[in-house]
Amino acid sequence: MKIMSFTAIILSSLFFFIPKAEEIQPLPLTPALPTDAVELGERLFFDSILSLDRTISCASCHLPEYAFADTSALSKGVAGALGDRNTPSAMNMLSREIFFWDGRAATLAEQALGPIENPVEMNLPIDSAIARLMADEYYSAAFAALYPEEGLTKENLGLAIAAYEESLETGSAYDQFADGDSSAISASAMRGIEIFNVKGKCFDCHFGPDMTGDEFKNIGTYNGQEFNDVGRFSETKDSNDLGKFKVPGLRNVAVTAPYMHDGSFKTLREVIEYYNTPDAFRPHAIGRDTLLREPLGLTEQEMDDLEAFMRSLTAPQFEHLLARKEE
């Protein structure tokens, strides 16, 4: 299962890659062409050529070392422009059916193009991005080789980046447990599974291979005042969608803080406490889902166990981050 073959950073017009944190070596002036779309998409993902001032890449906000999420509540784009929603992980997207917090993209390829044109992210019109890539010897040749019929088009640019993102699938200790290894997770995490499925009501929204049904839910984070992001309503204009957001997947959730669409919760424990007693956090929520109309009544031990289960969803390459959070 391929996660990432190399990490690339683009500085001005030169290409570099980082095989190890302590080693920085220049790429050849005429690098070999990619063998497939995944390899091409990887290079694009880490290349700042797709931003207006050539300072921001996809990886600037989707940090590889933090499961391709950001560590800030809101990410900064070109010229320091601040986004208005938290950057989710770009991993485990292969089974997703809809994208962005408000669901405005129906495919991963469509989603991949969104940040390029977004004025508070990369702020580069797609036509300008295509022109830049066409003027680049490597990219023009790479797209011609991999897409011989259409070459470098908007659609193929999205498909290439999406191909790389689709390769970022991860497993976890929980998967080993689900496959029959009873020693893979702790007793606390085992109890947490039961809480997740029943008393905590988590499974009602977080189900499937990546713990999301790609549905839209209003969990009470909208009150029309200081918390006024209308969510899905911005796309559908349906009053029933007011304050609804796409349910995120939970793989690697323990290492992708901060949380929620606005990044307002700093820790996983704070998220669990919110679900347990949402009124204590946002008492004037509008349209909160019936699942959360009443407190869940989880004890401290049950919240500990639920957190232990969610930590077991962490891929091996990020487990060192769990130890850091315990210090």
pLDDT tens for 2-29 read 444 433 333 333 333 334 444 445 545 5
Strands (E), 82-229: 216-217
List, for residues 225-261, the tens digit of each pLDDT value.
999 999 999 999 999 999 999 999 999 999 999 999 9
Looking at the domain that runs over 173-326, which CATH code has it been given? 1.10.760.10
In b/e form, how buried is each residue of 248-273, taking b as 16+ CB within 10 angstroms?
bbbbbbbbbbbbbbbbbbeebeebbb
Asked whether the predicted pLDDT for residue 298 surpasses 50, the reply is: yes
User: Binning pLDDT at 50, 70 and 90, where does residue 323 land?
Assistant: confident
**Percent of the chain beyond pLDDT 90?**
88
Specify whether the CB–CB gap between 173 and 312 falls below 8 A: yes
CA 59 – CA 75 distance, rounded (Å): 11
List of E strands, 169-309:
216-217, 245-246
Confidence of residue 66 (pLDDT cuts 50, 70, 90): very high
> Can the peptide bond before residue 258 be classed as cis, meaning omega within 30 degrees of 0?
yes
Query: Residue 47 contacts by C-beta under 8 Å, 6 or more apart in sequence?
Result: 8, 10, 15, 57
Task: Record the tokens describing residue 63, joined without a space.
Answer: 């940090």
Pairing of the two strands 23-26 and 14-20: antiparallel
- In this chain, the answer to whether the domains covering 7-166 and 173-326 adopt an identical fold is yes
CB distance 202 to 192 below 8 Å: no
- What is the pLDDT averaged over residues 263-287? 96
List of residues 6+ apart from 245 with CB closer than 8 A? 101, 102, 216, 217, 218, 219, 221, 231, 232, 261
Predicted local confidence at residue 17, as pLDDT: 36
CB atoms within 10 A of CB 9: 16
Q: State both tokens at 69.
A: 């999420």
* Spans of all domains in the chain: 7-166, 173-326
Binding-site residue numbers are: 58, 61-62, 202, 205-206
* Cβ count within 10 A of residue 92: 25
Binding residues for heme c, by number, are 58, 61-62, 202, 205-206
Mean of the pLDDT values across residues 133-141?
97
Task: Report whether 189 contacts 197 (CB < 8 A).
Answer: no
Task: Reply yes or no on whether the pLDDT at 316 is more than 50.
Answer: yes
* Nearest CA among 142, 170, 154, 190 for reference residue 310: 190
CATH number belonging to domain 7-166: 1.10.760.10
Q: Which amino acid is at 154?
A: K
In whole angstroms, what is the distance from residue 133 CA to residue 135 CA?
Answer: 5
Mean pLDDT for the stretch of residues 164-183: 98
pTM, entire model? 0.88
Q: Is residue 92 classed as helix, strand or coil in its secondary structure?
A: coil
- What is the structure's pLDDT at 18? 37
> HSE of 74 in the Cβ direction (CA atoms, 13 Å)?
12
